[in-house]
Chains A and B, each alone.
Chain A
Amino acid sequence: MSILVNRDTRVICQGITGKVGEFHTRGCLDYGTRMVGGVTPGKGGEKVADLPVFDTVAEAVAATGANATMIFVPPAFAADAILEAVGAEIPLVIAITEGIPVIDMARVMPVVRASKSRLIGPNCPGVITPGQCKIGIMPGYIHTPGHVGVMSRSGTLTYEAVWQLTQLGHGQSTCVGLGGDPLVGSSFIDILALFEADPDTHSILMMGEIGGSAEEEAAEFVKHHVTKPVAAFIAGQTAPPGKRMGHAGAIISGGKGTAEAKLAALKDAGIEVAASPADMGAAMVRAIENKHKNKKK
């Protein structure tokens, strides 16, 4: 078990004929992901990495039975690509593209919310269930199959955390990159609910960052609905207000979205907080041990 993706997930790539789309399609194939095709309008009938290319998502789904899509379409057209995937009723839509205008995403959000599709991203590294299925741009080899569920708003910071877990002998059930944009398809809460329900996930590590209030909402959710041990780190504790720190969503504005507020909410919910980014893996281990101790009492 795992969440979102496993060895049976059938994946297409929207934007497969682009340089980046092709590169990562090959990367996913190498990892063992069941890539079954790709979509680029006007290039139907071509082949990329021996996979059939279709003009539309609907055609690709009909021909391949795909149930997940990975989107590498350039920012100006990416929102439309997400809508096309949702229109074709693909259950899992993972948008890797960085730089989508936020108003475009504001048009996408109500459509996604009213549909049966789940959107992950945009501006995210993707989703991986170690040893089974990788959809996205993360380096596969740093992951190990195991029982820690990992979720984060950032890419390389997730790799860092996964690496620390692997070094400490803790494998991962599934790792989910939520994305660094202000509007993203899935929140910490959505993924927390999936991890809590997944018997193969025994503990949860989350990496948040400044901006917005997703971490505070996650803390509130953990308090009331999560029984598994949770550890967390918040990036940007030294970031000045009013400045966008790389990610479009990583900005403290109007006194909201500060690291202090997020850390306070996490601690209040009984979540083990990593003191520094070097402490993320160790914080997860502490959270697991504390839970065991409390159980024995």
Chain B
Amino acid sequence: MKIHEYQAKELLRAAGVPVLAGKVARTPDEAAAAFTALGTPICAVKAQIHAGGRGKGMVKGSTQRGVELAKSADDAARIAKGLLDQTLVTIQTGPEGQVVHQVFVESGCAIERELYCAILVDRHAGSPVLIASTAGGMDIEEVAHKTPELIITEPFDPDRGLSAWQTRVLSARLGLPAASWRAAEQFFKALTKAFVNLDASLLEINPLVLTKDGTMVALDAKMTFDDNALFRHKDVAALRDESEEEPAETRAAAAGLSYVKLNGTIGCLVNGAGLAMSTMDLVKYHGGEPANFLDVGGGADVKQVTEAFRIILSDKNVKAILVNIFGGIMRCTTIATALIEASKTVGFTVPLVVRLEGTEVEEGKKILANSGTTIITADGLTDAAKKVVAASKGLKA
């Protein structure tokens, strides 16, 4: 789960990580009032969307950037007006962009140097790691690719956190003046603690700023949380902003389904994540484009399958649907019955190709054949893919 920058900063402030004073605004007047209340000569007005690259991003149909400096309350209102309810396109949003519903007005600071730091769980190390670099404000993927020697990595134990010596290694390699090492130690320790205590899966500070007076400040903050741990962080779960998410994905999650919307024309309904990904690959291999990833899980019932079909059909691009089930624990007869029930309640407007394999497959196929529905059955993966691709183009396989 992702949250906004201003929400991340509230969490970090509470965890003892130095951040600048700021206020969220939902109208230009609120932005002006925020500027006045903060009382610094310069403020940054920042679009709040769940995507990075805002500084370089631009509002559709104007020259308004996603982040701009304001020197007066009027200035802040003008920038907020240019952003609010507008569509911001950044390198991470894709060409369709994302609508800005709120801006964050944040006081300025005197920047000495811009650095980069992030915390994530490293699969190879089997532990969380803190990654830092002198290349602040830049695209870290590019830095890692072109100048990997600029990236510093320190793994740490979730309970012990970073040791003081590890923060000194970071400070020295980041070239921080010795007078700031203590500030850096406090910063890194608070940040790693926040990561662990909040069950984050990514905590990225880009840029991390060394100020003119030698302190460390998180100028930006991007936080993503481990969905599997939200059950023990009700306060974090409450920060979810559904307006930032694909509505169909939110709906699927509520039904216990795993769904990701894509841009193709062939809807997919599959059991198991690996098989669901493979089914998308199969569709593509045979010249089609998958419209979605959808895993109904191991024990889907009629209700879930019905909801799954409704979600797939809510995507107007869908021209045909492929159901691919390998019955293990889930019996083919159960899924066949569910398919027929669902097709009666949902009412299909596009061709439906079904491939069943596994437990009670023959009985399952019989149920489909005798159902009187227009379901197209398939034998094997290749046959299913060919049939659904043809059907999506209005042809017969």
Does chain A have a CB within 8 A of B115? no
| Residues on B with beta carbons closer than 8 Å to the beta carbon of A253 | 202
Inter-chain contact A247/B273, CB cutoff 8 Å: yes
Inter-chain contact A75/B123, CB cutoff 8 Å: no
Interface size on B, residues (CB 8 A): 59
| Residues on B with beta carbons closer than 8 Å to the beta carbon of A160 | 275, 278, 326, 357, 381
> Which of chain A's residues has its CB closest to B144's CB?
A254
Q: Which of B19-27, B41-49, B224-232 lies at the interface with chain A?
A: B224-232
Q: Which of B236-244, B290-298, B345-353 lies at the interface with chain A?
A: B290-298
> Which of chain A's residues has its CB closest to B381's CB?
A278
Given contacts A158-B274, A160-B275, A233-B278, contact A238 B141 (CB under 8 A): no
Inter-chain contact B127/A235, CB cutoff 8 Å: no
Cα separation A245 to B157 with both chains bound (whole Å) = 28
Inter-chain contact A182/B123, CB cutoff 8 Å: yes
| Residues on B with beta carbons closer than 8 Å to the beta carbon of A239 | 260, 277, 280, 293
Does chain A have a CB within 8 A of B300? no
| Residues on A with beta carbons closer than 8 Å to the beta carbon of B232 | 76, 101
Inter-chain contact B328/A155, CB cutoff 8 Å: yes
Q: Which of A48-56, A204-212, A224-232 lies at the interface with chain B?
A: A204-212
Q: Which of A65-73, A105-113, A191-199, A286-294 lies at the interface with chain B?
A: A105-113
Inter-chain contact B276/A139, CB cutoff 8 Å: no
| Residues on A with beta carbons closer than 8 Å to the beta carbon of B277 | 154, 157, 209-210, 235-236, 238-239, 245-246, 250
Interface residues of A in 239-289 (CB under 8 A from B): 239-240, 242-250, 253-255, 275-278
Name A246's contact: one of B228, B295, B359, B382 (CB within 8 Å): B295
Does chain B have a CB within 8 A of A115? no
Does chain A have a CB within 8 A of B327? yes
Cα separation A249 to B262 with both chains bound (whole Å) = 19
Does chain B have a CB within 8 A of A99? yes
Name B128's contact: one of A106, A233, A240 (CB within 8 Å): A106
Given contacts A103-B158, A254-B140, A277-B281, contact A207 B380 (CB under 8 A): no
Inter-chain contact A245/B326, CB cutoff 8 Å: no
Among A99, A113, A236, the one with the most B-chain Cβ atoms within 10 Å of its Cβ is A236
Interface residues of B in 238-290 (CB under 8 A from A): 258, 260, 262, 270-286, 290
Inter-chain contact B141/A246, CB cutoff 8 Å: no
Inter-chain contact B127/A106, CB cutoff 8 Å: yes
Does chain A have a CB within 8 A of B315? no
| Residues on A with beta carbons closer than 8 Å to the beta carbon of B124 | 213, 217
Does chain B have a CB within 8 A of A94? no
Does chain B have a CB within 8 A of A102? yes
Name B358's contact: one of A100, A107, A159, A275 (CB within 8 Å): A159
Cα separation A166 to B128 with both chains bound (whole Å) = 41
Among A113, A255, A276, the one with the most B-chain Cβ atoms within 10 Å of its Cβ is A276
Cα separation A127 to B199 with both chains bound (whole Å) = 30
Inter-chain contact B358/A142, CB cutoff 8 Å: yes
A124-162 vs B, CB cutoff 8 Å, 1 = contact: the mask equals 010000000000011101100000000011111111100
Given contacts A238-B280, A277-B278, contact A101 B298 (CB under 8 A): no
Inter-chain contact B358/A163, CB cutoff 8 Å: yes
Does chain A have a CB within 8 A of B201? yes
- Chain A nearest CB: distance from B54 CB in Å? 16
Does chain A have a CB within 8 A of B149? no
| Residues on B with beta carbons closer than 8 Å to the beta carbon of A110 | 126-127, 157
- Chain B nearest CB: distance from A186 CB in Å? 12
Does chain A have a CB within 8 A of B121? yes
| Residues on A with beta carbons closer than 8 Å to the beta carbon of B395 | none
Does chain A have a CB within 8 A of B179? no
> Which of chain B's residues has its CB closest to A112's CB?
B126
Inter-chain contact B358/A276, CB cutoff 8 Å: no
Inter-chain contact A157/B278, CB cutoff 8 Å: yes
Given contacts A159-B328, A276-B382, contact A103 B196 (CB under 8 A): yes
Inter-chain contact B231/A183, CB cutoff 8 Å: no
- Chain B nearest CB: distance from A189 CB in Å? 11
Does chain B have a CB within 8 A of A121? no
| Residues on A with beta carbons closer than 8 Å to the beta carbon of B158 | 103, 106-107
Cα separation A217 to B125 with both chains bound (whole Å) = 13
Does chain A have a CB within 8 A of B235? no
Cα separation A146 to B199 with both chains bound (whole Å) = 44
Does chain A have a CB within 8 A of B159? yes
B335-359 vs A, CB cutoff 8 Å, 1 = contact: the mask equals 0000000000000000000000111
Among A76, A138, A154, the one with the most B-chain Cβ atoms within 10 Å of its Cβ is A154
- Chain A nearest CB: distance from B227 CB in Å? 7
Does chain B have a CB within 8 A of A88? no
| Residues on A with beta carbons closer than 8 Å to the beta carbon of B283 | 238
Name B327's contact: one of A107, A139, A233 (CB within 8 Å): A139
Inter-chain contact B274/A153, CB cutoff 8 Å: yes
| Residues on B with beta carbons closer than 8 Å to the beta carbon of A210 | 277
18 A–B contacts, CB within 8 A, in A order: A102-B121, A106-B158, A137-B298, A142-B358, A155-B328, A163-B357, A214-B123, A235-B277, A239-B293, A240-B260, A243-B260, A246-B293, A247-B273, A247-B274, A248-B226, A253-B202, A255-B141, A276-B385
Which B residues are within 8 Å of any A CB, using their own CB? 92, 121, 123-124, 126-128, 140-141, 144-145, 157-159, 196, 199, 201-202, 226-229, 231-232, 258, 260, 262, 270-286, 290, 293, 295, 298, 326-329, 357-359, 380-382, 385
Closest 6 CB pairs of A and B: A154-B274, A246-B273, A156-B272, A157-B274, A101-B229, A109-B126
| Contacts A155-B272, A246-B274, A278-B282 known; 12 new A-B pairs at CB < 8 A | A100-B228, A102-B121, A106-B158, A107-B158, A110-B127, A156-B271, A163-B357, A182-B121, A213-B123, A236-B281, A243-B293, A244-B227
